[in-house]
Structure 1
Amino acid sequence: MKILILCTGNSCRSQMAHGFLQSFDPSLSVYSAGTKASGKVNPKAIEVMYDAGIDISHHTSDSVDKYMNDEWDYVITVCGGAKESCPTFLGKVKNRLHIGFDDPSEATGTLEFIQSEYIRVRDEIKKIFYELYIDKIKGHE
């Protein structure tokens, strides 16, 4: 099963979702991309995922253009608030889903608060993507 997780920057939320989904089932082919890929994975995202037992330090931030000609079982967008425009994927897709999350890289305030936002969003992504995996993906491989 091929799954593409799509965001704008492909540096934080889509990377976390990619890491979790791959950890739930290593046989899945999981990729992530962005319409305006930043070129690097957010260091705080790497840190909080590592704290959760998942290493995404080897991930790359890729442009969605790299995947336009592929066929996908799922394309899942994870962009969140009203300040963001969610990308549209025009390639061949069996199932399109949107699951929005706040962008922890937009958090401002104390270092403790910013850290807590990364952890909060990470934990939301883990919970919702695990439910998605159990409810929709696991039985349909």
Structure 2
Amino acid sequence: MKRVLFLCTANSARSQMAEALLRHHAGDRFEVFSAGTEPAAPDPRALAVLQAVGIDTAGLYSKSVDEFADQSFDFVITLCSKAHRECSRWPAGGVVLAWDFADPASSDEPEAFGKTLQAIGRRIQLFIEVNSKATDSLYSSLSPVDFYKALADEIRLKCLLLLLDRELCVCELVEALQQPQPKISRNLAQLRKSGLLLDRRQGQWVYYRLHPLMSDWMREVIATTRDHNRDFLSDACARLDTDGVICNG
């Protein structure tokens, strides 16, 4: 069974929801945990919306991330930007994913907890679907030559750098790179075909992110390239920031 750790700040709502949802839908395939960087008690409203849809909340309690410091996980998934900044270099983690959901506790909307549960539930279903497929063989068959060929184009390289640790729609990449939509879509399709990107459709929009099962060495190459070439992305990041998308660095 693959081990999954969900992280957020208080471990009171979002990560508790994610833990309960994944255990409910795929507890036979994943060993699931959650923790917080500043743990507090579970929010009764989070427990209530889980119970309302028939999900068992027994045994849920807030835990510190320090409790898991000597353990290893196949996936470490952060559910807020603060936790991701603090734990993105999780020492014993495998694949680190950033799922950034707004904190329902800070919302005045009456249905905030229910809507957050639905949003996390959709992401959990996608996570289960992706990791139920035999995709590990993809990266054993993708040669280093093919990987570097995928990077040997300015548009494709910038797309990969911008998509590190985040998900963006085609329209955001078009705006960031100032290129025609067909050209961006064509290059994204090539990256998806190579197995480096995963896409999902939400309404009329298509969103892309790095494939969660990408080999660690490939992800490290992309991260190192971005971290040592900030100027290469500065204009694109500025355009994303204008649209309210935070660009790392």
1:131 aligns with 2:126: yes
- Matched residue, 2:197: none
**Runs of 4+ with >4 A deviation:** none
- Matched residue, 2:99: 99
Q: Deviations over 1:80-109 (max 9, x none)?
A: 5xxx4633153311100001111100012x
Within a 5 Å distance, the mapping from 1:49-64 to structure 2 comes to 49-64=50-65
Structure 1 residues 46 and 57, CA gap change in structure 2 (3 angstroms): farther
Q: Deviations over 1:7-65 (max 9, x none)?
A: 00000000001111111112221000000001x21100000011111022420100000
What letter matches 2:92 in structure 1? Answer: K
More helix by share: 2
Tell which deviates more after alignment, 69-78 or 48-57: 48-57
TM-score normalised according to structure 1 size: 0.86
- Matched residue, 1:117: 112
**Structure 2: distance between partners of 1:71 and 1:49:** 28
- Matched residue, 1:47: 48
- Matched residue, 1:88: 87
SS in 1 for 2:61: coil
**Structure 2: distance between partners of 1:123 and 1:79:** 16
Give aligned-pair identity as a percent: 28
What letter matches 1:41 in structure 2? Answer: P
**Structure 1: distance between partners of 2:116 and 2:23:** 18
1:33 aligns with 2:35: yes
CA contact (8 A) 2:7 2:83 kept: no
**Structure 1: distance between partners of 2:133 and 2:31:** 15
CA contact (8 A) 1:41 1:57 kept: no
CA contact (8 A) 2:77 2:99 kept: yes
SS in 1 for 2:21: helix
**Structure 1: distance between partners of 2:58 and 2:103:** 19
TM-score normalised according to structure 2 size: 0.50
Structure 1 residues 2 and 45, CA gap change in structure 2 (3 angstroms): same
CA contact (8 A) 2:8 2:83 kept: no
**Structure 2: distance between partners of 1:54 and 1:24:** 9
5+ residue gaps in structure 2?
137-249
- Matched residue, 2:16: 15
Tell me the matched-pair count. Answer: 131
SS in 2 for 1:139: coil
**Structure 2: distance between partners of 1:72 and 1:12:** 21
- Relative contact order: is structure 1 or structure 2 higher (C-alpha 8 Å, sep ≥ 6)? 1
SS in 2 for 1:5: strand
